[in-house]
Chains A and B, each alone.
Chain A
Amino acid sequence: TQLLEQSPQFLSIQEGENLTVYCNSSSVFSSLQWYRQEPGEGPVLLVTVVTGGEVKKLKRLTFQFGDARKDSSLHITAAQPGDTGLYLCAGAISGGSNYKLTFGKGTLLTVNP
């Protein structure tokens, strides 16, 4: 079983602060995805990273895939209350016709106005 450890589990910050959340595993993934989930809703995909060392930016969010494709980080600059939610990373194992994601337990982020 491939396990993804996310840290921290909970994070409460003030509007305008920067933060980084981490996603670590001992397994190598073919790709890694980050999702955000709001209360009462399903997760929504933010980004997919595929290449080791890859960095992607989505406005104030910066995603990085580790060189060995075992870990990833999400950095948010100048956090806003609208960034509040559960951030989930998910590693993909694909082979042949199979494709499935293993999810971390998430980081619950609260951004206070």
Chain B
Amino acid sequence: EPEVTQTPSHQVTQMGQEVILRCVPISNHLYFYWYRQILGQKVEFLVSFYNNEISEKSEIFDDQFSVERPDGSNFTLKIRSTKLEDSAMYFCASSEGVNRINTEAFFGQGTRLTVV
């Protein structure tokens, strides 16, 4: 069964360092997303991406965040200068479309980012 894969599963980084979280969405999907879940809190939307550009982003997704689809299969989230409060589980998701029939989002297993 097709699935969204994320690497690494766990990333530890020092405050101020740049990190890149990687995702391989399901191959025939056109819409890609990043969400985060701070420990014990709700899952929060960060950004959606379609046709090689951001289609929507939340207030959390400030200038230190960026996304890219560098090679037609990978979808990356970059955090330029990490802060302690960026520590969270980051989920990548993809969907075939956004209408009522094909809007189901499939999530990856997540990358746990720990900023020390």
Pair from one complex: no
